[in-house]
Amino acid sequence: MATVHLDNIAKSWGAVTAVSPLSLDIADGEFLVLLGPSGCGKTTTMRMIAGLDEPTGGTIRIDGRDVTHLEPRDRDVAMVFQNYGLYPHMTVAENIGYPLKLAGVPKAERARRVAEAAERVELTPYLERRPAAMSGGQRQRVALARAIVRQAKLFLMDEPLSNLDAKLRGTMRSTLRALQRDLGITTIYVTHDQVEAMTMADRVVVMEKGRIQQIGTPADVYHRPANLFVAGFLGAPPMNFINGQLSGGVFTAPGMVVPADSNMTRPAILGVRPEAIRLTGPAASMAQGRVRAVEFLGDASLLLIDRQDGGTLTARVAVADAPVVGAPVGLDFTTTRLFAPAADGGQAL
């Protein structure tokens, strides 16, 4: 188990800045997820922690020890990548035991630890098979067992589930998380999949363009996004954004008056999640509109609503509450969040 401290680490390749100076403390036993769109710098951040990329600035400490310039093998980290990195000519048992062989662990102890790790990920019946004769999920578990067997201080995982089909990904999410809890190993996990981040993380680090946009629990980043980027990146379908004016404790936009928990007077953007829109009778509503489309999702219906005064909103409602296409509707918002306009930085107000 280990703590990790990143102090202003940065990485550029010539004129390309992959990661701007970034600082982050990861607690002992924590499951931390780096989340962001393609190219935001999450893999580079993790490769620097692993020792695969040399930072152009800053310091990395694992358990207080400065590892910034150490080789990967001297950092006591175990890595799991999306392509698993298994050796095709070795059996499952040999693959799992390989890091121990490299470390010169005697054969009998190796066999014992391989059997233990295989047991943990339910691979005992497959120890003599070769990777080619295994399914994607089984290969993934071999890679996991190989990480476990090392008894490393830190797990680093880069999109380890992305090659699995949706159903298996769901199962492996919980297997992996339960295993990590059980072992108590500090884990840094990279993904662009927000469901993975929300379901697995103790804390999520949302990144964009090489910078941290927000660090928080999954509930924090979803319900209290720090800025327009985080608000728009999390949630599917995404949050609705409405341009308007804040003044005297209310937000106003054409045809819309919404109570606001702010005394500021300034242009603002109102953020409303699709599930925070309630359909009402026209008299009691904050806005009016007409239903343009209804999409049946199974457990809910998505409505595309043309607002009376321009613009569209997406609402998620119970199937039984879904009106017909063309119906006029009143809209109330159960929770909202205010942001500065993008031109002003888009911070939450």
Give the nearer residue to ligand ATP in terms of CB position, either 36 or 346.
36
The CA–CA distances, whole Å, from 186 to 73, 118, 178 equal 17, 20, 13
Judged by CB, which is closer to ligand ATP: 208, or 246? 208
- Residue 198: CB minimum distance to ligand ATP, A: 17
Cβ nearer to ligand ATP, comparing 41 with 289? 41
Q: Which run of H or E residues covers position 43?
A: helix 42-50
Q: Which CB, 33 or 242, lies closer to ligand ATP?
A: 33
**CA-CA-CA-CA torsion sign (147, 148, 149, 153):** positive
Q: Count of CB atoms within 10 A of residue 8's CB?
A: 12
Q: What are the residues binding ligand ATP (CB under 6 A)?
A: 13, 16, 18, 36, 38-44, 192
Alpha-carbon distance of 311 to 280, in angstroms, equals 19
- Select the residue whose beta carbon is closest to ligand ATP and give its number: 43
Paired strand residues for 246? 251, 266
Nearer Cβ to ligand ATP, position 91 or 162?
A: 162
- What 3-state DSSP class applies to 313? strand
Report the nearest approach of ligand ATP to the CB of residue 13 (Å).
4
CB of 232 to ligand ATP, least distance (A): 17
Query: What is the closest distance, in whole angstroms, from the C-beta atom of residue 162 to ligand ATP in the complex?
Result: 9
Q: Residue 52 contacts by C-beta under 8 Å, 6 or more apart in sequence?
A: 72
Q: What type of residue sits at position 285?
A: S
